[in-house]
Chain A
């Protein structure tokens, strides 16, 4: 029997429409989409799970002002060390932003997308946002433009957005019920007044839904972001997913709440808990029946630069850019070449799909596997260098991408001479909770035994192989070796 590689839909989901592998496509969650939409997003790292291994993106922080307050946001956003939405190091003028985009696109030819995502709300800074888009449309016509908004000012901005040929918009929609909204948004600034409570949430929801409808009417692709807040909107997000899909959003991205007390947000300070990995996955699976779900979001900063999961922003501060000598015309040619090569590789992958893997046993448990990767769709990162792990679910029905888990300090960056290496390792093992194995390019002796003791099988034998094939192969190896039974994991954990 051949194992298919599944993406997005849970193997047993009866309501998931056609499974990706039976639709003539086995590339990623976009397999559900009409050809025209796939053509638009194939090189957008935030929309295509496939593209995010190859194409890079950047955000420019030209939009500081915001017109609403969310309980998960602290508006004191200036921070160099945190990686989460709403945080930046420096606010740029539109002119500075254009200069930065051109410098980054010259240095990183994989760059395909420029987004404006804050740190406030781009549409609450219409002058700065649209000045930036106008200049970029002229000066870097090969870079796709996109924008992310809370939706409050969206209806009045749709006309201007469509002028700039922006074919992607992300709206953050956390609720469709004002009573739920009142627990997430304490106030909005609307028609020259501060409005609070349920009335504020009602207006915001109305504007978001109207904006969504208007964008869809104009053929602009809409992705919906939702923040999963346990006890506040967790069950409700299933309805959100259903409604936004009905209205024509093409992708739904459910992200976990980030709420640490030290971030100074309302939720952080009042002890609102974050969802567990399992809760996030369960909700994404529940929504997947109705919607193309997105699972590779990295919740990046409003000034992030590079491949998803990496941030090279520090290489492109304003003073460093001033010192660079750049041949913009040559850079655009290089970009065209690099993009064409990647497009070809992706097309080939789509056509051929991953190599079929024979399997001996037709039944077996579902197992989560972690993968250390630097990009390119390969198992190619050392365990000790990984800043995040991609999580795949393997079963006899195939393999599907589930999400990613970030680690605070890579194992090799912890200082083992003062015990930090050990605590870094303990935190990584915590982050890999629920995983049966971790695939990487290499694993050192010490983390190897600690991982084994925690019931997580380390594996370096599939180094440099394509991720899905490697996960499938390891799944079968573990299955055949009898290492995937619950007893084995429990014995190890109690050992």
Chain B
């Protein structure tokens, strides 16, 4: 059970200090999550901390490979263009 950072990461560091397991480390070309340390914050927090502070849509995936912050969910830019996929849960709109 672990989350994954993919190449849309902009290396902004926001996730590093909020990880309760020190699982996130600087790497090239972008930060990575140590799968052995990541607990998806279960037991520590209700929400995965890295995904809750990440400003980039689609940069953090869950263990199924789904984006925790899907397109349009943070910037609202797609929202205004009417392109928000219907798969996005209501509570993050």
**A residues within 8 Å of B by Cβ?**
64-67, 69, 75-78, 91, 120, 124-125, 127, 186-187, 189, 192-194, 266, 269-270
Contact = CB atoms under 8 A, between A and B. Distances in A.
Contacts of A67: 14, 53
B12 A69 contact: no
Contact of B12 (A75, A127, A192, A269): A75
B49 interface: yes
Given A186-B74, A266-B75, A193 B12 contact: no
A189 B52 contact: yes
A120 B13 CA distance: 9
Given A186-B74, A193-B52, A194-B52, A76 B18 contact: no
Given A189-B52, A192-B47, A193-B46, A69 B13 contact: no
B46 A75 contact: no
Given A75-B12, A269-B77, A69 B52 contact: no
Nearest to B93: A196
Given A193-B52, A266-B76, A125 B17 contact: yes
A189 B18 contact: yes
Given A66-B55, A269-B77, A76 B10 contact: yes
- By secondary structure, the B interface counts as loop
A193 B47 contact: yes
Q: How large is the interface on B (under 10, 10 to 19, 20 to 34, 35 or more residues)?
A: 20 to 34
B23 interface: no
B55 A75 contact: yes
Contact of B77 (A64, A65, A266): A266
A69 B74 contact: yes
Contact of A194 (B10, B11, B17, B53): B53
17 contacts: A64-B13, A65-B53, A66-B14, A67-B53, A69-B74, A75-B12, A91-B13, A120-B12, A120-B13, A189-B14, A189-B52, A189-B53, A192-B46, A192-B49, A193-B52, A194-B47, A270-B77
Contact of A192 (B52, B56, B77): B52
Closest 9 CB pairs of A and B: A64-B13, A76-B10, A189-B53, A194-B52, A65-B13, A65-B14, A75-B12, A75-B55, A192-B45
A192 B74 CA distance: 17
Interface in B65-83: 74-77, 80
Interface of B: 10-18, 45-47, 49, 52-53, 55-56, 74-77, 80
A278 to B, nearest CB: 29
Contacts of A64: 11-14
Contacts of B14: 64-67, 75, 120, 124, 189
B58 to A, nearest CB: 14
A486 B36 CA distance: 74
A69 B52 CA distance: 12
Given A69-B55, A186-B74, A193-B52, A75 B10 contact: yes
Nearest to B17: A65
A266 B55 CA distance: 12
Contact of B11 (A78, A124, A187): A78
A75 B52 CA distance: 15
Nearest to A77: B12
Residue in A64, A91, A186, A192 with the greatest tally of chain B CB atoms within 10 Å:
A192
Contacts of A270: 77, 80
A66 B74 CA distance: 15
Nearest to A67: B53
Contacts of A125: 13, 17
Contacts of B12: 64-66, 75-77, 120
Nearest to B47: A193
A64 B46 CA distance: 25
Nearest to A194: B52
Given A186-B74, A186-B75, A270-B77, A65 B16 contact: yes
Contacts of A65: 12-17, 53
Nearest to A265: B75
| B11, B14, B46, B80 — most chain A CB neighbours (10 Å) | B14
A120 B80 CA distance: 26
A124 B49 CA distance: 14
Contacts of A192: 18, 45-47, 49, 52
A189 B14 CA distance: 10
A266 B81 CA distance: 13
A187 B49 contact: no
Contacts of B53: 65, 67, 189, 194
A69 B47 CA distance: 18
A120 B47 CA distance: 22
A271 B10 CA distance: 23
Nearest to B53: A189
Contacts of B13: 64-65, 91, 120, 125
Contacts of A91: 13
A192 B15 CA distance: 11
A174 B15 CA distance: 25
A120 B75 CA distance: 17
